[in-house]
């Protein structure tokens, strides 16, 4: 028998443990309306593949195809999802008191943000299951990624977005030929419009966690980090958290790798970073709760993490509690200072969301939660190129010939 390309076995509700057929298009759990997770036959996978086999494969996120839901190589919809680098930040790390600081730079994937990973798996799987029209609300980068992958797949896309989202996201969505509607409100308002638009059944709702495969793509960040560290785990992983799917995906990846026996020991402590202008996860964590309350008047320059009430809140909080992690809120002023500091000391032009993780490390090191000798990975979830407003430039224009 040929080795299976994917070991996807079924879907499961992480809350009520309802299980369903993964070969059928699925949304939320039919019992309790919670997000469904993809499950794999890890025993069969472990018998067919060794972690050493991965090394010889092409350096894309699809090198982990057994742990991804797409059934055949031909079904992959790709814009070139290269493995992103894991880079030392020695000078900034020393400045922050954590010399072993590492940056996973998601600004280098197609569409300039980690959202491409989720869109690549989500669109590939949707196309494989015969979907022709998708609809979603977005804070910007996810909509841009899904619009571009949908174009590649020949799928129609309908996207709603807050009018206050970064300008570049409008351009990305429009140029890819998606139908775009702007709303004078937050992503929660954009989401309500989508819920109405999909009610007649013509469009499939692929909003965050409303379909089970976006998270599978984001999982590859966790797989890559572990492989890049020689199949070992770091001490701490710091993630900017809006909808939280990145953090949920990394947590899921680590659990699957440990179950496979490809990695052993304690999971890294996961840190969810939010803005003081929108910190529902931090508030819930501090209260020891397992669900968020909607955050009123959400606002931050780190626009990607302006999510007042994430649908997957309980999965994010479970990830923090299970790993001995923490949730931290930082101010816009602080994160902009660390964005500039990182560029000056290390040359990386981060997104404000990515820069927020540096500020979090600064605080957690200062109060002793992170030790000086720990191996800490921060995620830059997008390219600074998408956020020109984070940099103020005031230079004179000289006439030609000025000495």
- Residue 64 Ramachandran class (φ > 0 left, ψ -120 to 50 alpha, else beta): alpha
**By C-beta, is 63 or 269 nearer to a copy of itself?**
63
Backbone angles phi, psi at 49, to 5 degrees: -130, 140
Q: Which is nearer to a copy of itself, 289 or 345 (CB)?
A: 345
Q: How far is the CB of 161 from a copy of itself (least distance, A)?
A: 9
Q: Which is nearer to a copy of itself, 228 or 241 (CB)?
A: 228
Phi, psi of 82, deg, nearest 5 = -65, 150
Minimum distance from residue 116 beta carbon to a copy of itself (Å): 10
Residue 303 and residue 391 in contact, taking contact as beta carbons nearer than 8 Å: no
Q: How far is the CB of 394 from a copy of itself (least distance, A)?
A: 9
User: Least distance to a copy of itself from the beta carbon of 11, Å?
Assistant: 27
In the complex, minimum distance from the CB of residue 192 to a copy of itself, in angstroms, rounded to a whole number = 7
Residue 22 or 148: which CB sits closer to a copy of itself?
Answer: 148
Whose CA is closest to 150, among 117, 108, 122, 114? 122
Cβ proximity to a copy of itself: between 6 and 390 the closer is 390
- Tokens 């992983």 label which residue? 237
Q: Which is nearer to a copy of itself, 44 or 79 (CB)?
A: 79
The CB-of-334 to a copy of itself minimum distance in angstroms stands at 16
Nearer to a copy of itself, 108 or 372 (CB): 108
The pairing of beta strand 37-40 with beta strand 269-275: unpaired
Closest CA to 120 of 70, 72, 174, 171: 70
Tokens, residue 134? 């998708």
Task: Please give the structure tokens belonging to residue 240.
Answer: 């900017």
Cα torsion 60, 66, 67, 71 to 10°: value is 90
How far is it, in rounded angstroms, from Cα 244 to Cα 233? Answer: 20
Q: Which residues pair with 135 in a beta bridge?
A: 158, 205
Asked if residue 185 lies in contact with residue 179, where contact means CB atoms within 8 angstroms, the answer is no
Contact partners, residue 18, CB within 8 Å, separation at least 6: 12, 29, 30, 31, 32
Q: Where are the alpha helices (DSSP H) in 73-114?
A: 90-96
Closest approach, Cβ 245 to a copy of itself, in A, equals: 21
Please say whether the beta carbons of 382 and 351 come within 8 A.
Answer: yes
Q: How far apart are CB 111 and a copy of itself at their closest, in Å?
A: 8
Task: Provide the minimum distance between the beta carbon of 112 and a copy of itself in the complex, in angstroms, as a whole number.
Answer: 5
- Which of 45, 336 has the CB closer to a copy of itself? 336
Report whether 116 contacts 92 (CB < 8 A).
no
Among residues 327, 323, 318, which one has the least CA distance to residue 14?
A: 318
Q: Which of 174, 289 has the CB closer to a copy of itself?
A: 174
């Amino acid at each position: 028998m040929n080795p299976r390309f994917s070991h996807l076995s079924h879907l499961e509700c992480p809350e009520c443990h309802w299980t369903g057929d993964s070969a059928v298009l699925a949304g939320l759990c039919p019992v309790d309306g919670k997000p469904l997770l993809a499950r794999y036959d890890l025993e069969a996978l472990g018998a067919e593949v060794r972690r050493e086999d991965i090394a010889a494969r092409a350096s894309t996120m699809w090198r982990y195809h057994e742990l991804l839901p797409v059934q055949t190589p031909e079904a992959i919809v790709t814009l070139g999802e290269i493995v992103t680098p894991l880079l030392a930040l020695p000078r900034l790390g020393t400045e922050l008191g954590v010399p072993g600081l590492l940056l996973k730079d998601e600004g280098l994937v197609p569409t300039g943000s980690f959202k491409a990973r989720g869109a690549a798996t989500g669109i590939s799987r949707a196309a494989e299951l015969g979907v022709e029209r998708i609809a979603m609300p977005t804070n910007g980068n996810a909509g841009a990624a899904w619009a571009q992958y949908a174009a590649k797949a020949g799928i129609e896309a309908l996207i709603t977005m807050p009018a206050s989202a970064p300008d570049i996201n409008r351009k990305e969505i429009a140029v890819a030929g998606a139908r775009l509607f702007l709303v004078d409100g937050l992503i929660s308002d954009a989401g309500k419009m989508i819920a109405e638009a999909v009610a007649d059944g013509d469009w499939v709702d692929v909003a965050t966690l409303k379909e089970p495969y976006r998270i599978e793509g984001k999982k590859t960040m966790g797989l890559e980090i572990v492989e890049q560290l020689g199949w070992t785990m770091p001490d701490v992983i710091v993630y900017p958290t809006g909808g939280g799917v990145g953090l949920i995906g990394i947590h899921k990846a680590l659990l699957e790798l440990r179950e496979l026996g490809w990695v052993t020991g304690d999971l890294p402590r996961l840190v969810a970073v939010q803005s003081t202008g929108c910190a529902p996860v931090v508030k819930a964590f501090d209260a020891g709760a397992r669900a968020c309350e909607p955050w009123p008047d959400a606002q931050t320059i780190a626009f990607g993490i302006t999510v007042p009430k994430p649908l997957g809140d309980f999965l994010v909080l479970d990830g923090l509690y299970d790993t001995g992690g923490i949730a931290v809120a930082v101010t816009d002023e602080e994160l902009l200072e660390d964005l500039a500091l990182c560029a000056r000391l290390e040359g990386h032009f981060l997104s404000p969301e990515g820069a927020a993780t540096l500020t979090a490390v600064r605080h957690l090191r200062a109060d002793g939660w992170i030790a000086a000798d720990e191996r800490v990975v921060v995620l830059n979830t997008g390219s600074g190129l998408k956020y020109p407003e984070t940099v103020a430039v005031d230079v004179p224009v000289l006439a030609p010939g000025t000495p």
